[in-house]
Amino acid sequence: MEAAEIIAYFDGRPAFTLYISNRDSFEIPLMIDLAYEFGYVFRFAYPGRWTQRLIFERDDGEQARARAWWSVYHYRRYGTWGRPQPRVPLPAHMGPRIDPFEAAKARHALGMHLNMSWRGGIIAQIGALLVVAVWRLHDEPAILISVVSVGVALATLFALRVRFPSKRVRRHQRTVATFELQQAVERGFIPPPPSGSPGG
């Protein structure tokens, strides 16, 4: 999908969905990065066998509206999308600088994590298998207890992964938060935090 096709969605609508084939999934960071620049936020990814469904929502925050205004102006004037030059140098204590595509990849990973539908499907399948096991093995209590124990353990594991994020998820969260802070400083939205403060 060309950048112009993606940008056409950023017309002020509250939310929209993009579908992309799994073989073209390498384009997803570009889509998420464009959304960020044009004032939208990526929310969820719904993976399928052949395609992914990506959900975007308009960000009505002050900084997002400022980014969108600049991006729309630049695109209409020059016919290409771009990113403004930093207005404020990033202090050394806020580095290293997060690359926008790195942040976009982290957002995609978080969107996959926050979409709990696939976990719900797996838990439902485990539940169905347990029902079958109870019906088929009711005359063999020892085996039945073992099967049920394993099934309950697996279902609990998938449920808890939502409530207790892994180290990888926390790393993605830090990447996105650091990127947001660095961008806000570079664009002059907020003053740089002092050294030693959270994010500084």
Whole-prediction pTM: 0.74
104 CB-near residues (< 8 Å, 6+ apart): 28, 29, 30, 31, 32, 33, 36, 42
Residue 194 has a pLDDT of 86
Residue 106 has a pLDDT of 95
Residue 59 has a pLDDT of 96
DSSP string, 48-69: -SSEEEEEEEE--SHHHHHHHH
Assess contact for 162 and 115: CB atoms under 8 A: no
Assess contact for 54 and 31: CB atoms under 8 A: yes
Residue 64 has a pLDDT of 95
Give φ, ψ of 12 to 5 degrees: 100, -5
Strand partners, 19: 53
Residue 168 has a pLDDT of 86
Residue 82 has a pLDDT of 87
Residue 84 has a pLDDT of 87
- Give mean pLDDT in consecutive 10-residue pieces for the chain, a chain of 200 residues: 89 93 92 95 88 94 95 92 87 90 94 64 57 59 60 56 70 94 93 74
Q: Where are the domains of the chain?
A: 1-84, 94-200
Residue 86 has a pLDDT of 85
Token pair of 126 as six digits: 């485990």
Residue 165 has a pLDDT of 61
DSSP 8-state assignment for residue 134: H
Residue 171 sits at the vertex; the CA angle it makes with 170 and 174, to the nearest 5 degrees, is 85
Residue 166 has a pLDDT of 75
Distance of CA 31 to the CA centre of its chain: 12
Residue 65 has a pLDDT of 96
